[in-house]
Structure 1
Amino acid sequence: MKKQLHPQQYPFKTVPVQDACGMTLAHDMTEIIPAKSKGPAFKRGHQVQAGDICRLMRMGKNNLYVLDLDETQVHEDEAVFELASALAGPGVEFSATPSEGKLELYAAYPGLFRVNVDALTEFNMLDDVMCASIHTNTAVNKGDSLAATRAIPLVIDRENLDQATALAKSAYPIFSVSVFNPLKIRLAIIGNEVYDGLIQDRFQAIVEEKTAQFGAHVLEINILPDDRERITAQIQDYMKKETDLIITTGGMSVDPDDVTRESIEAVGFDEVHYSSAVLPGAMFLLGYTSDTAIMGLPACGLYHRTTIFDLILPRVMAGERPGKRELASLCHGGLCLNCPTCRFPNCAFGKSI
């Protein structure tokens, strides 16, 4: 069992605050002003002046610490740099100045934030360290906060710190941001009612808006009737044009006129997955060849602002190829509550872990 340090074993010398003039602070001193602010009033390294004494006492600081560290001990500010460096992978950066012993990690560029959740959990099982992050598979912008880490005690044992950084390095990268690829996208809008002009299509605007968020553009759009041969032929034509992603809309339900699924399967994709554990979006289709992905969007995309499309599109744009298990794992968190004011992606929808 690991030996725990008792308070008297820490390298602290307590100095009454009224005797602290000329002393250099060993850590940030936090000031809390109820209902207004919380933050460091004095930073580590600040030399206490006579005028600081009253403020420190108002903050409730009756005593201050002087540290005398040896080679087996690391101050929290130095330790947190080592922790952040071990946790941060491609597309993840952190600030140069810890705040109260904590460092935040940020997105270096827009992309899909990925977390090795199992490794992050194991990291947090270790003594004297912690790290918290936003959810994996979250689309982020440059500068977005991704995670924060710190050493728990003011002074951490070098042995514990080395153990934590070694674990993070062995699982590298625990955090990363994958850049969105400017995919070549082509769209097939399917349905007799749209093809015959009985109703006006609304899917085109939805698809164009959502793909543009990730830097892509729809290169070609065709409107087709519910005809197996014509749908299959159009998809085959798209594939001959070096298309990265084909999106079809409509024809995915159990209505006898809905033949989109069968038409896609007739093309001969290497894998096709029909249905997802998400509402709205249960009748979603996702398939792949070696060069092309295809998504079949059900009609729910017309009536709900956020659907399965919003969960899978950024992952495909970042180079992932989610399969049957990924579609099934979305069950936990896969129920949209259709809030009067949609807060996605800042809500639980699609957050399976």
Structure 2
Amino acid sequence: MRLVRVEDAVGQILGYDTTYVGRDGAALLLPKGHVITNDDVERLKDSGVYFVWIEGNEESSNLMYEWEIAEVVANALAGENTYVKPARQGSAWILSSINGVLKINVDRLREFNLNGNVFLITKTSMTGVVKDELIGIVDVVPLGMRREDVNELLKYRDLISVVPFSRRRIGIVITGTEIYQGRKKDLYHPVIKAKADRYGWEIVYSTVIPDDEEKIITAIREAINNGAETVVVTGGMSVDPTDKTPIAIRNLGAKVIAYGIPIKPTTMTMIALLNGTPILAISAGGIYYSDYNAIDVFLPRLMADLIPSREEIAAMGHGGILVSYKFERRT
């Protein structure tokens, strides 16, 4: 390609997407392959574009341009259960081909991005995702690179993948004497159902019970007997005298991985395993913070059988103030 003044580019083939950027956002001005007209000259100048790349006949076989680089590198980095779609302006999208949990090789991603010319930009590892969701972007900084330099980047493979859900059936146990007696309406079931619907999970058991240790134990067992592969228990998670959920889960014989997690909101969360079946118990705060809470953080992982360790949970304090948390300053 050759770089020429826009006045001299009339009748030539544009070799590079040009973009308009304003207060109303960014948009494609003229696409690669467009034949430049006299009318285009003023449009380009109005957008601050006074020089353009035009296609030439002297392209070096040793040179790759950004649109080629992005797609080639993205296909190398994209791992299991992902696919690649080319995007504009030296980018390529990596999308999930299934519902599951995003898994990033963070150490290798950091090493890859040190190359400084081509970047892999992703969503956070261990995030729940759905089919066709954007999970990564490969973005190229220079217009072109030598082919051997691009090939050097292709040694980084399968940095981004999606782990499928191995569990699909959940049970819901809503605790709270005030709900059981009809004094308050249950608001948790719709929150959990919305998340289950998003990921394609089936609710096979749901019940409302009072704050009674034996009834909680019985309800969890019934959920598992009815086919639940993971059980979500809500309420009764604090230290009030009527809060019985953590005691019941321990007395059930479950192995507790964590009681209390370093995230806000819904810090009072318990993760446990009962003969291999995950139990996620969460405080009532998940109703107020229904958009994003411990259910969103942990349930997709549990459904993909990616059981977090105590060390992993401890590290969640970094970034543990979730976007949904409402900070209220008190004086």
CA distance in 2, matches of 1:191, 1:16: 72
Q: Look up the match of 1:149.
A: 138
Q: CA deviation at 1:85?
A: 0.5
Give structure 1 stretches of 5+ with no counterpart: 1-11, 341-353
Q: 1:252 pairs with 216, 237, 256, which one? A: 237
Q: 2:302 pairs with 312, 316, 319, which one? A: 316
CA distance in 1, matches of 2:193, 2:43: 57
**Distance of aligned partners of 1:328 and 1:67 in 2 relative to their CA distance in 1, 3 Å threshold:** farther
**Distance of aligned partners of 1:70 and 1:247 in 2 relative to their CA distance in 1, 3 Å threshold:** same
The letter for the 2-side match of 1:269 is A
CA distance in 2, matches of 1:49, 1:192: 74
Q: Look up the match of 1:348.
A: none
Q: Look up the match of 2:175.
A: 190
CA distance in 2, matches of 1:194, 1:55: 64
Correspondence 1:265 to 2:250:
yes
Q: Look up the match of 1:30.
A: 18
CA displacement 1:229-260 (0-9 Å, x = unmatched):
44334433433444201122222221233332
SS of residue paired to 2:271: strand
Q: CA deviation at 1:86?
A: 1.0
Q: CA deviation at 1:277?
A: 0.6
Q: Look up the match of 1:131.
A: 120
Q: CA deviation at 1:209?
A: 3.4
Correspondence 1:330 to 2:316:
yes
CA distance in 2, matches of 1:199, 1:41: 56
SS of residue paired to 1:166: coil
**Distance of aligned partners of 1:24 and 1:315 in 2 relative to their CA distance in 1, 3 Å threshold:** same
Q: Look up the match of 1:285.
A: 270
CA distance in 2, matches of 1:15, 1:250: 67
CA displacement 1:72-131 (0-9 Å, x = unmatched):
3222222222111012223332324x4222222333344433332222221110142122
**Distance of aligned partners of 1:22 and 1:259 in 2 relative to their CA distance in 1, 3 Å threshold:** closer
**Distance of aligned partners of 1:329 and 1:54 in 2 relative to their CA distance in 1, 3 Å threshold:** same
Q: 1:276 pairs with 240, 253, 261, which one? A: 261
CA displacement 1:203-233 (0-9 Å, x = unmatched):
3343333333322232223343444344334
CA displacement 1:1-35 (0-9 Å, x = unmatched):
xxxxxxxxxxx65555555466444x314143644
**Distance of aligned partners of 1:158 and 1:290 in 2 relative to their CA distance in 1, 3 Å threshold:** farther
**Distance of aligned partners of 1:288 and 1:154 in 2 relative to their CA distance in 1, 3 Å threshold:** same
Q: 1:86 pairs with 63, 66, 76, which one? A: 76
Q: Look up the match of 2:104.
A: 115
The letter for the 2-side match of 1:331 is G
**Distance of aligned partners of 1:51 and 1:258 in 2 relative to their CA distance in 1, 3 Å threshold:** closer
Residue correspondences, number: 323
Q: 1:307 pairs with 285, 293, 298, which one? A: 293
Q: Look up the match of 2:65.
A: 75
Q: CA deviation at 1:276?
A: 0.5
Q: Is the 8 A contact 2:205 2:226 kept in 1?
A: no
> Which 10-residue stretch deviates more, 47-56 or 176-185?
47-56
CA displacement 1:271-318 (0-9 Å, x = unmatched):
432111122212211112454111112232344324322321222233
CA distance in 1, matches of 2:252, 2:88: 57
**Cα RMSD, aligned residues only:** 3.2
CA distance in 1, matches of 2:316, 2:294: 9
CA distance in 2, matches of 1:241, 1:130: 47
Q: Look up the match of 2:95.
A: 106
Correspondence 1:214 to 2:176:
no
Q: Is the 8 A contact 1:127 1:160 kept in 2?
A: no
CA distance in 1, matches of 2:24, 2:215: 64
**Distance of aligned partners of 1:181 and 1:214 in 2 relative to their CA distance in 1, 3 Å threshold:** farther
CA distance in 1, matches of 2:186, 2:51: 70
> Which 10-residue stretch deviates more, 245-254 or 230-239?
230-239
**Distance of aligned partners of 1:22 and 1:271 in 2 relative to their CA distance in 1, 3 Å threshold:** same
**Distance of aligned partners of 1:144 and 1:239 in 2 relative to their CA distance in 1, 3 Å threshold:** closer
Q: Look up the match of 1:9.
A: none
**Distance of aligned partners of 1:272 and 1:104 in 2 relative to their CA distance in 1, 3 Å threshold:** closer
